[in-house]
Copies of this chain bind each other. A is one copy, B any other.
Amino acid sequence: MGLYEIHVFVCENERDETDTRGSCSLKGSREVRSKLKEEVKKLPIRNKVRINKAGCLGTCNQGVSMVIYPQGIWYGKVAVEDLPEIIERTLLKGEIIDRLLMSFMRKQTNIKIKEL
């Protein structure tokens, strides 16, 4: 329907180190996004997927925050080490990685990403 079959937004909001809310940038979101973008470029589905920078997604306490649309999958506390699994399972196979789901999504099991 849209321009991309999988549209990933990674929060890169910046806040001062003294801000108690924290921020995804201070938790390494730039590295997460740039590494994910780099790896996706190597995939056969690269033209169907876009890795986008986003401003604050409103889920600061669960950052690094990532949301995947149009499926509406919210992953939290994402680290560079999680990226191979996100690519292999979620982007390529359409599977949900339970341990990465944000708390408000944990009870939702009816999500199905379209297999590419």
Chain A positions within 8 Å of B, measured between CB atoms, are 1-3, 7, 9, 12, 50, 52-59, 67, 69-74, 102, 104-105, 108, 111
Which secondary structure dominates chain A's binding surface?
A: loop
Given that A54-B54, A58-B50 are known contacts, is A67 also in contact with B7, CB under 8 Å in the complex? Answer: yes
Given the complex of chains A and B, what is the CA–CA distance between A67 and B1 in angstroms?
12
Q: Which residues of B contact A111 (CB under 8 A)?
A: 1
Given the complex of chains A and B, what is the CA–CA distance between A27 and B105 in angstroms?
37
How near does chain B come to A41, taking the closest CB pair, in angstroms? 14
Nearest neighbor of A65 in chain B, beta-carbon distance: B3
Given the complex of chains A and B, what is the CA–CA distance between A58 and B47 in angstroms?
11
